[in-house]
A and B are shown apart, each in its own frame.
Chain A
Amino acid sequence: MPEFITAQLESLLTAQFIVSVVTILLVVHVILLTVAYLIYVERKLSAYIQDRLGPNRVGFDFGLPFLSFLKGCLGLGQPLADGLKFLLKEDYAPSRVDKALFTLAPIIIIVPALMGFVIIPWGGVWDMPGFTIPIIGIDVAGGPVHVTGAAVNVGIIYLLAIASLGVYGVTLGGWASNSKFSFIGGLRATAQMISYEIPLGLSLLAALLLTGTVMPEGIIRYQADNGWLIFSQPVAAVIFFMAILAEANRAPFDNAEAEQELVGGYHTEYSSMRFALFFLAEYAHMVTSSAFFALMFLGGYQLLPFVGDPLTSPGAVSFWAVLAKFGVFMGKVVLLIAFMMVIRWTLPRLRYDQVMTLAWQSVIPISLIVVVATAVMIYLGHTGVLPMLGLNLVIVLGILVAQAFMPVTNTNAKLPLYGSRFNPVPGEFVNTRPTDPTALEDRPEQGTAPRAV
């Protein structure tokens, strides 16, 4: 091998780069597999909530007699069958769509959804031993490396920037379809996603003010030293969770695909794999958001708050510690996703005006208040868990008191309408009783005699 190529490779193949690429390869496959099975879990969970059985037929026998002992399997073959079916169906575009944008939209939505998770520090820091790569014979120096996709020091900013790119896919998908359902669904989803990006950013800001760093590993270390941020910023945590639900278009904020009103929302006209990509993106977004929440507010890879156990504290750098941290982090993500699913099958969907009013008239002002109050507390030097908890309590009580003095807008007011028999304009009487005598004679029990009107 020429000398300069070896030199280039040596500078490229640092321990951090190798660990990063291995982590990415591992986590991408874990996420794609998880996403396929999340759909299965969601169907199963909804079935149990609604007292049904859910998918329980498709096993791994593939219709072959000698594999018949793999029939059933609790329906675990369902995601595989779904995936194959998506691949085998016709990839159809209606005649009047904007073909280029129509194909681009699912790509634009799936790429950010798969890119976001790279900054999540799944395994903390690993004290890697040095080794030699077998075939090309390059020595890799050992040392502490971050077990994460990309150890960038602006991790949180990167994740926010990438996550907000997903809105382009929704907008383009709705616009390019040239269908009214898609268009209105896309508009609604876009307005909702950009509206909830502001409380997302602001509640994150309240947490970042305390940590003083935007590096994911640094945030976890702050929480290891000072207690998890969900204890010192509970209001911001709740707002953040609401915002990630709305960003992922999950219930109770899934107005974009309110099937009673909009059929399928922005993916009405999509079929086969392009539809599947929208679907995958939603679930991948859920995984990334849950990991983000676990990172910001639930202490990342630590098992217990306030207690530094030897295996999952930031100081543990052995290989087994990395595996344990990976497991704990994934466990938190799975629990959060299960919580999102239970929310979806328990709470009714909010009306669209309620979603937007919630964002602009309550969540954004509250998160602004939390940011300002946190800044003042930091200036005063009270950043412990108890003072911050007291501050949050004061904010909640203040909101409850202030709510009594807020102007009330009655959005469900009945408007009098000319010609309406339910709510006519004052002084008017509308009678819709049939005037034809024969119509009344048909109903002998209700009105036998035709009466003059």
Chain B
Amino acid sequence: MDGLTLVTTLAQSNIAAYLPIMVILTMALTFAIGNIVATKLIGPSRTGEIKGQAYESGMNPIGTARKRFNVRFFLIAMVFLVFDVEVVFLYPWADTFTDLATGGKDAALWLGRILFFLLTTVVAYLYGFRKGVFRFD
């Protein structure tokens, strides 16, 4: 039973390892749908014009909620895409960089490439900062 060799031989990337995820997906879906259906069947059901109104602290609702909203949320979504895609690209590098840095002769090259990749993100961050994307006051 020595260390990591055991682990790597056991958890092969075969599809059988993912089969239990199907089990839990089925269980979770059954739990969610079953609960909703059960409460639909058991619970009372009465409707009315006043009861169907949206909750606005007891006032009569004014207009609809489907309105335009602050542009900051769009900006956050776009900046999030930039950063999140970058982080996703970094995971394979993080997984292999220990081996590259300890054994490989191209370690400096790989470090440099990733640092350049991160630099592009820093440029994007600074641009957004100057544009006031990250100000929420």
Residue numbers of A with Cβ under 8 A of B are 12, 14, 16-17, 20-21, 24, 28, 32, 86-92, 94-96, 103, 106-107, 110-111, 114-115, 118, 125, 127, 144-146, 149-154, 157-158, 177-184, 187, 190-191, 194-195, 197-198, 201-202, 205, 208-215, 217-218, 221, 225, 263, 268-269, 272-274, 276-277, 314-315, 317, 352-353, 356-357, 360-361, 364-365, 368, 371-372, 375-376, 378-379, 381, 383, 409, 411
Question: For B95, what are the chain A residues with a Cβ–Cβ distance below 8 Å?
Answer: 208, 212-214
Chain A residues, CB < 8 A from B44: 90
6 other A-B residue contacts (CB within 8 Å) besides A106-B36, A118-B21: A87-B39, A90-B43, A177-B54, A353-B136, A356-B134, A368-B122
Give the residue among B8, B52, B54 with the most A Cβ atoms within 10 A.
B54
Rounded to whole angstroms, the CA-CA distance of A94 and B67 in the bound complex is 18
Is B57 engaged at the interface, CB distance under 8 Å to the other chain?
Answer: yes
Taking the closest CB of chain B, its distance from the CB of A63, in whole angstroms, is: 19
Considering the complex, which residues of chain B in the window 19-41 have a beta carbon less than 8 Å from any beta carbon of chain A? 19-21, 23-25, 27-29, 31-33, 35-36, 38-40
Question: How near does chain A come to B92, taking the closest CB pair, in angstroms?
Answer: 9
**Which of these, A209, A272, A375, contacts B43 with CB under 8 Å?**
A272
- Say yes or no: B24 contacts A210, CB within 8 Å: no
CB closest residue in chain A, given B12 = A153
Is the CB–CB distance between B43 and A263 below 8 Å?
no
Assembled-state Cα–Cα distance A201/B136 (Å): 23
Q: Are A379 and B111 in contact (CB under 8 A)?
A: yes
Q: Are A91 and B39 interface neighbours, CB within 8 A?
A: yes
User: Given A111-B32, A276-B35, are A379 and B134 neighbors across the interface (CB < 8 Å)?
Assistant: no
Q: Which residues of A contact B108 (CB under 8 A)?
A: 379
| Minimum Cβ distance to chain A for residue B76 (Å) | 5
B10 in contact with A146 (CB, 8 Å): yes
Determine whether the beta carbon of A269 is less than 8 Å from that of B32: no
Q: How far is the CB of B74 from chain A (nearest CB, A)?
A: 10
B7's partner among A107, A178, A180, A218 (CB-CB below 8 A) is A218
Partner of B3, one of A91, A182, A221, A272: A221
Contact between B101 and A379 (Cβ–Cβ < 8 Å)? yes
User: Which residues does chain A contribute within 8 Å of B53, judged by CB atoms?
Assistant: 94-95
> Chain B contact residues: over half helix, strand or loop, or mixed?
helix
User: In the complex the two chains form, what is the Cα distance from A229 to B3 in whole Å?
Assistant: 18
List 17 A-B residue pairs with CB atoms under 8 Å apart, sorted by A's residue number: A12-B19, A24-B20, A107-B33, A115-B24, A118-B24, A152-B13, A152-B17, A153-B17, A179-B54, A180-B65, A181-B56, A191-B77, A198-B80, A212-B98, A218-B8, A314-B3, A317-B1
Known contacts: A218-B7, A273-B35. The answer to whether A197 contacts B42 by CB under 8 A is no
B contact residues around A154 at 8 Å (CB): 13
Inter-subunit contact B21/A115 (CB<8 Å): yes
B111 touches A375 (CB 8 A): yes
In the complex, the answer to whether A178 meets B64 with C-beta atoms within 8 Å is: yes
The docked-state distance in angstroms from the alpha carbon of A144 to that of B47 is 58
- Give chain A residues whose Cβ lies under 8 Å from the Cβ of B83: 198, 364
Query: Quick check: B25 and A17 within 8 Å, CB to CB?
Result: no
Q: Knowing A150-B21, A191-B76, A357-B136 are in contact, say whether A179-B56 is a contact too (CB < 8 A).
A: yes
Q: How far is the CA of A18 from the CA of B63 in the complex (A)?
A: 56
A20, B17: Cα distance in complex, Å? 9
Task: Check: B102 CB closer than 8 A to any chain A CB.
Answer: yes
- Minimal beta-carbon separation of B42 from chain A (angstroms): 6
Q: Closest CB of chain B to A257's CB: distance in Å? A: 14
> Once the chains are docked, how many angstroms separate the CA of A84 from the CA of B71?
43
Q: Which of B123-137 contact A (CB under 8 A)?
A: 125, 129, 133-137
Q: Decide: A194 and B56 in contact? CB cutoff 8 A.
A: no
* Minimum C-beta distance from B43 to chain A (A): 5
Residues of A near B13 (CB, < 8 A) are: 152-154
Which residues of chain B come closer than 8 Å to A381, judged between CB atoms?
A: 101-102
The smallest beta-carbon distance between A105 and chain B, in angstroms, is: 11
Whether B24 pairs with A114 at a CB distance below 8 angstroms is yes
The complex places the Cα of A180 from the Cα of B64 at a distance, in Å, of 8
Nearest first, the 6 closest Cβ-Cβ pairs linking A and B are A95-B52, A212-B98, A353-B136, A273-B39, A179-B54, A201-B87
Closest CB in chain B relative to A96 CB, distance in Å = 6
